[in-house]
A and B are shown apart, each in its own frame.
Chain A
Amino acid sequence: MATVEERVKMVTARVLDLTPDEIQPEHSFTEDLGAESVQSIELVAMFEEEFGIEMNEDAALSVSTVGGAIDFITTVCKEQGVDVE
């Protein structure tokens, strides 16, 4: 099973039309990876779908980096009883 980081990078790459290798944890979704407003929403929606979780809208949209998303999703998965590696 892929790790949270790998899955986050995979989803990010798909939504932002990048390759996973181009994405690093310290990257900002908007400034470094070029996410536009609607793509930020799509990223959150795709993360929910990928991990089978529901995220708080405001909290999820306030996460600005890939590393922040990995940590946030890991926490939500734990809270919602979703097993991740």
Chain B
Amino acid sequence: MTDAIASFGAGGRPVSIHTDDAAKARLKGRYRAEAWFKWLGAGAVALAGFFLVLLLSTVVTQAIPALRLNYLTLPIDLSAAKVDPAKLDEVNYDSIAQEALAAKFPDVTRRQDKRLLRGLISTGTGVFLRKDIAADPGMLGGTVDYAVPLDDFADLYLKGLLADVGSDEAISTSVTPSGTSGDIDLTFGDNGMLALARGHGATEAENGMLTLTSGASSLLVVFNGGTVKLTALSPGANGTAIAKGTVIEALDSTAPAASGQASLRVIDTPEASRKISDKEIVWLDTLKSAGLIESRFNSIFFFTGASREPELAGVWGAVVGSFLTMIVTLAIAFPIGVSAAIYLEEFAPKNRLTTIIEVNINNLAAVPSIVFGLLGLAVFLNFFGLPRSAPVVGGMVLALMTLPIIIIASRASLRAVPPSIREAALGIGASKVQTVFHHVLPLAMPGIMTGTILGMAHALGETAPLLMIGMVAFIVDIPGGFTDPATILPVQIFMWADFPEAGFQQKTSAAILILLLFLVIMNAIAVILRRRFERRW
């Protein structure tokens, strides 16, 4: 008798299709698939977490440099000869500060170089100086040490963000200069420099002449109290090397520097591909080694309005604009949203109109935000003629956008209040309105508040609709009212991200950090409200 189902295995035990080798292999395969699937799921979650970490760490690492700003302390001459105490507003404070800086570098005489030197300090210096003098007239009458903010390129260089900071090493051979300023020749005791120059991208001509163009790394020889930038090298007699160079900082003397006394500073980033020249680098290094530069908390960034100059740009104007806009949004969306939710949940009869309203609200919640911007542009600006760029219009647009969120959250919260509360209130003779406003609404309030805060957080981060109503304008003043032109934090981020100046990249990240901080605070409040007041029935 044949048995298709059970046969006998080696040990005489019956083997079924559920336990034979094929079945075991199948089972193994199934378990493997199970493990795979599980790991796939875990991988998806981990990937989402990885994206979050990547995003936040990118923003944070970029933002940190923007929190500090380098200041240069200069002895500024505010004696009566320069500043007439009677005519404080007519003084050119910028040129006073520039003179103080020029006095630090008496060797700089060429017009071009002078302009370069002036560019090291911020163009806002004069404004700060004027403000500080107005606040403290005691500064006048003599020379005071005053800290001026550095220009953004200088600042970025000192933070190590603009160019490779470079390496210093002693030159193990003697160096003899032919002069102390201008274009000079340097004679090196051995030809080790030639190999070094080749390694740093010098172009070699047929006669063995090495030229260091602006596409090569910068080689700076520091000795005798000065700095020489090498421009070309060629082999000399008796294994020496002769270099042509431009003096950036004058040498004290033409005395030869012995082996180990001179040092070579290599800036790997070629001059052509960085936004700061060798001269500026040398000047900054000199100022820094003189202890005149210090890094301070960047209060300009936190407490001033926008500017085209990265070192003068601040977020305060945008923060105030966001705040004003949010006030308008809250003042409109909260009462209307809660009222609508109360009506729909507690009073509305089940008829066509209420069904339409309900479907409508759900659809509105899914309308792209930019469409609300188009609505604001067409209706608020062009039809009603409200001012462009004003927080009141921005607030209204965002209120319409947040309304569905608040209504949906409030309805859910009202629905969660058990009917027994209503029945009890009605039972002791309260009217429907009294029942709702005295009993149901207070119980639903924590949920409504949570929903509102989350909706507001959403509105705070919204950008696109506000671009439509002109909040993208460049506004320097801090807005003082609801109809003043203003910009808001996310739009400021958007604008800064678009600016070509390198300094704005850090500002953008720092502004993002501030925005995220506000969002975290709002969400934390929502979570606390939910934890503390949420009731389970």
Q: Do A and B bind each other?
A: no
